[in-house]
Amino acid sequence: MYPNQFVKFEVIEFQKEDNKEYVDEVAVVKAISDGKEAMKEFVKCKSDQLIYSTKNEQLIIELVKQIGIRRLSRF
């Protein structure tokens, strides 16, 4: 549908196994042909939206538990 591009989408249906989500159905929000534009869109994504490359045949999302953000302080 969108060969060799990036797509911004929302996950509609998935199967969860261990720490991975195997995506069955998505709602495409926008097709993006340029990598730099894809990064700009990634920064603007809502919490339920993702950017993914269509070069990948299967859509698998590895879930990572974030426990905090480290910040370098100058003081």
**What is the band of 75 on the pLDDT scale with cuts at 50, 70, 90?**
very low
Ramachandran sector of residue 49 (left: φ over 0; alpha: ψ -120 to 50; beta: rest)? beta
Tell me, rounded to whole angstroms, the distance of Cα 70 from its chain centroid: 22
pTM, full prediction: 0.69
DSSP state of 19: T
Residues 6 or more apart whose CB falls under 8 angstroms from that of 12 comprise 24, 25, 26, 27
Average pLDDT over residues 8-18: 89
At 29-59, the pLDDT tens digits run 999 999 999 999 999 988 888 899 988 888 7
Share of the chain above pLDDT 70, in %: 87
Better-scored residue on pLDDT, 60 or 25: 25
Query: Residue 7 is encoded by which pair of tokens?
Result: 């797509």
